[in-house]
Amino acid sequence: MARTLQQATDVNLLDVSFQVSLAGRQLLNLLLNNDPADRLGSNSGANEIKQYPFFRGIKWPPIRTMSPPPLDAPFELIEKDLKAKDVKWEDDGVLLKTMKVRWRRFRHRVILNLNVHLVELQETGELYAMKAMEKSIMINRNKVHRVCAEREIMLLLDHPFLPTLYASFQTPTHICLITDFCSGGELFALLDRQPMKLFKEESTRFYAAKVVIGLEYLHCLGIIYRDLKPENILLQKDGHIVLSDFDLSFMTSYKPRIIKHPPPNDKRRSKSQPLPTFLAEPVTVSNSFVGTEEYIAPEIITGASHSSAIDWWALVFHLGRTFRFHEMSRQIKWQQATDVNLLDVSFQVSLAGRLLNLLLNRDPVDRLGSNSGANEIKHLFFRGINWPLIRTMSLPPLDVPPKLIEKYLKAKDVKWEDDGVFVNPVDLDLF
């Protein structure tokens, strides 16, 4: 403690056993550089630090799912010392995930669609989306397992393009999930308001790139989405997307891998070694017949087993919504609609046409994205996208801008309808 700052930054003052370790010999020496221009991390940020041997074995994208290593003195959970019923709501929204949430805490604002309500948390005035699923319908249609799977999947999600599950509870008749309210509405509705019901290529690239990132994150967790369509892509207030509805999703195992690229042949032109690529795609297959008719992959139609490749097939039709491809697919047979050669020549040779051609492979083994996941798709049509900074991308100008739902709401005079749906709430015991 008595050393000067200059001495403290000298790694040689550390004990010899630590100096010869991976951390002391490589990482600390490079981090303890007095010149900030030459300090490790100054050029490429965390990417430079992640590749050093000290962090060997760390799987960066799914790092949130890592189990903590054993400690000599394990940590103590604070919640063990709490008296549950004495904990009160703090008027800053911080306890929403841990508090005892019931329907009476929410004020109904409006019905967003068939089973999703816009609700307001009375203590804070914050708006949330409440997905209310009727128990009798779920039992009759044998969908109870899907509701449980959806809740389990949403509890794992922690990504700006995916929803957060803040709370879940049940009434005698319904199961309710409280998630983010996306005031921009559905991407489908925004597309429907555009001239010719089509996006320009720049807007297509903006939205599709975010879909790719969202799917990449899901696949890294072993989750196959299985229901990608514009109706399930919601828009946040800032224009960024959120993938919704996971009742058809399938959670399976995954195998994380690090792919190291060979050094460039011409060392004079390239001064740095290419960074390794992380890959974690779902490995278990499913035989369920699920999905929306327009977006179902060929392997599902034929009854063959399917994996994450079906999500990349659905991306084709998400992209196709923005071009003449989708309108044409409504007029001709499904088998013909999957033939990119039916498009005009000028589109076939464009970057978008080349991407669709690679995604429209009936064989899931050879389909783009089946081998290296999103890493294969982030080229071609998406050239120029700064993937690490995609969250900061600005929404490109649209002919008809999005309409925020909250601007058209009649606020606090809307009450719950007294139809017996949300009466006499009970404690959560279904999940």
DSSP characters over 256-324: -EEEPPPPPS-TTT--SPPPPEEE--B---B----S-GGG--HHHHTT--B-THHHHHHHHHHHHTTSH
| Residues contacting 333, CB < 8 A, separation 6+ | none
Distance CA 169, CA 183 (A): 23
Positions in the chain short of pLDDT 50: 1-3, 5, 80-99, 324-338, 340, 342-346, 348-349, 411-414, 416-431
Distance CA 271, CA 408 (A): 56
Integer CA distances (angstroms), 387 to 216, 350, 384, 390, in order: 12, 22, 9, 5
Q: Which of 321, 306, 319, 303 is nearest to 358 (CA)?
A: 319
**Helix and strand counts by DSSP (H, E) for the chain:** 16, 11
| Residue 369 pLDDT | 85
| Residue 198 pLDDT | 81
pLDDT tens per residue across span 30-50: 887 778 888 888 877 887 788
Q: Which fold has domain 84-183?
A: Phosphorylase Kinase; domain 1 (3.30.200)
| Domain boundaries defined on the chain | 84-183, 187-403
At the top level of CATH, the class of 187-403 is mainly alpha
What does the block give as tokens for 17? 């056993």
pLDDT tens per residue across span 141-164: 888 888 899 999 999 999 999 999
Is the fold of 84-183 the same as that of 187-403?
no
| Residue 163 pLDDT | 94
- Cβ atoms of 225 and 281 within 8 Å: the answer is no
| Residue 407 pLDDT | 53
| Residue 418 pLDDT | 42
Whole-model pTM: value is: 0.70
| Residues contacting 143, CB < 8 A, separation 6+ | 137, 247
Integer CA distances (angstroms), 345 to 153, 172, 204, 327, in order: 42, 58, 20, 17
| Residue 253 pLDDT | 84
| Residue 212 pLDDT | 93
Q: Report the amino acid identity of residue 249.
A: S
Distance CA 315, CA 310 (A): 9
| Residue 223 pLDDT | 93
Distance CA 73, CA 93 (A): 33
Active site residues: 227
